[in-house]
Amino acid sequence: DVKAMIDDAVSGFGGLDVLVNNAGFSHRITPLWELAEEEYERVFATNVRGVYLGCKYAVPVMKERGGGVIVNTASIGAVMPRPGVTAYNATKGAVMTLTRGLAVEVAPFHIRVNAVNPVAAETGFMKTATGLDKLPEELRKQLVTTIPLGRLTEPRDVAAAVLFLASDEAEFLTGVCLPVDGGRSI
């Protein structure tokens, strides 16, 4: 329960300065017209509703505290979609719009809202999307050839971007959807 998570953070740490909404789920790679409605609903519930609920319960706490930072995880797929994951890409587009809209709404309360847009990474997410334990080398090479820096995103890349957006060094950034994509979106 998201509200309980926020309440636990406040009671355990005395407040909430930063919220990172990082839940994400994808359906198996399949054309949209073949995607089961239940899978579509699950992807939207996790990727969009989860972010909404995190923001809904964090903002009042941050307002009372005098400010804060929210960083949402979207995806470069929202900007440059690949085939077979249309519903997933749509959810991440919704997260980008939610990020920008909320940034405008909460700026007067000194709350910043940004997002990171990672490119593909070899994580459990990719296992879910492909249904495979390891990415086939041919598919891996195909993905990497679209990334100018020549590799997939690693969790540390995303973590570094989130840390920056949550830091005081980014105090004048809000509504930013930062590509963490090795140049794919150029």
| 171 neighbors 25 (Cβ within 8 angstroms) | no
The answer to whether the CB of 125 falls within 8 A of the CB of 155 is no
CATH number at residue 111: 3.40.50.720
Residue 176 inside a domain? The answer is yes
Q: Is the four-CA dihedral 151, 43, 129, 139 of positive or negative sign?
A: negative
Within-domain flag for 186: no
In a domain? residue 137: yes
pLDDT value, residue 123: 64
Q: Supply the DSSP symbol for 109.
A: G
Alpha carbon 61 to its chain's center: 21
Q: What is the pLDDT of residue 135?
A: 65
DSSP, collapsed to helix, strand or coil, labels residue 24 as coil
DSSP state of 153: B
pLDDT at 140: 72
Count other C-beta atoms under 10 Å from residue 142's C-beta.
Answer: 11
The distance in angstroms from the start CA to the end CA of the chain is 38
Among candidate residues 116, 115, 136, 181, the one with its CA nearest the CA of residue 29: 136
pLDDT at site 131: 61
Residue 125 pLDDT: 63
Q: What is the pLDDT along the chain (186 residues), one digit of tens a residue?
A: 999 999 999 999 999 999 999 988 888 889 999 999 999 999 999 999 999 999 999 999 999 999 999 999 999 999 999 889 999 999 999 999 999 999 999 999 999 999 999 987 766 666 655 665 666 677 778 878 888 999 888 999 999 999 999 999 999 999 999 999 999 998
Domain count, the chain: 1
Catalytic residue among 40, 52, 57, 88: 88
Q: Is 185 domain-assigned?
A: no
Residue 168 lies inside a defined structural domain of this protein: yes
Write down the pLDDT at residue 143: 79
Give the pLDDT score at 42.
Answer: 95
Active-site residue, 40 included: no
pTM: 0.91
Residue 62's domain comprises: 2-180
14 torsion bin: left (phi>0), alpha (psi -120 to 50), beta (else): left
Instruction: In whole angstroms, give the CA distance from residue 36 to residue 120.
Output: 23
Rounded to an integer, what distance in angstroms lies between the CA atom of residue 8 and that of residue 51? 18
